[in-house]
Amino acid sequence: MRLDKYLTTVTNLSRTESKRILKSNRVTVDGCHVTEPSTQVGECAQVAIDGEPLRSAAARYFMLNKPLGYVSATKDKQHLTVLEWFDEDNLDRLHIAGRLDIDTTGLLLLTDDGQWSHRVTSPKHNCNKTYWLQTVDPITDAAIEKIQQGILLDNEKRATKPATIELIDVQTARLTISEGKYHQVKRMFAAVGNKVETLHREQIGDIVLDKNLMPGEYRALTEQEIGSI
The pLDDT tens digits for 163-209 are 999 999 999 999 999 988 889 999 999 999 999 999 999 999 999 99
219: nearest Cα among 70, 86, 31: 86
Catalytic residue status for 101: yes
What DSSP character marks residue 30? T
Residues 6+ apart with CB under 8 A from 108: 63, 64, 65, 66, 72, 82, 96, 98, 99, 100, 201
Cα 154 to its chain centre, rounded Å, is 27
The alpha-helical segments, DSSP class H, found in 97-153 are: 114-121, 141-149
Confidence (pLDDT) at 157? 87
**Is residue 229 pLDDT above 90, yes or no?**
no
Q: Is 109 strand, coil or helix?
A: strand
**Is residue 57 pLDDT above 80, yes or no?**
no
Please give the share of the chain, as a percent, with pLDDT higher than 70: 100
**Is residue 107 pLDDT above 90, yes or no?**
yes
129: nearest Cα among 166, 160, 98, 158: 98
**Is residue 149 pLDDT above 90, yes or no?**
yes
CA angle centred on 51, ends 48 and 55, rounded to 5°? 35
Q: What is the mean pLDDT of the chain?
A: 92
Confidence (pLDDT) at 159? 92
> How far apart, in whole angstroms, are the C-alpha atoms of residue 198 and residue 27?
51
Tell me if 161 sits within 8 A of 150, measured CB to CB: yes
> How far apart, in whole angstroms, are the C-alpha atoms of residue 42 and residue 195?
53
Confidence (pLDDT) at 9? 83
- Mean pLDDT to the nearest integer, 28-47: 89
- Mean pLDDT to the nearest integer, 154-158: 87
> How far apart, in whole angstroms, are the C-alpha atoms of residue 59 and residue 68?
28
Active-site pick, 101, 137, 141, 169: 101
- Mean pLDDT to the nearest integer, 107-132: 91
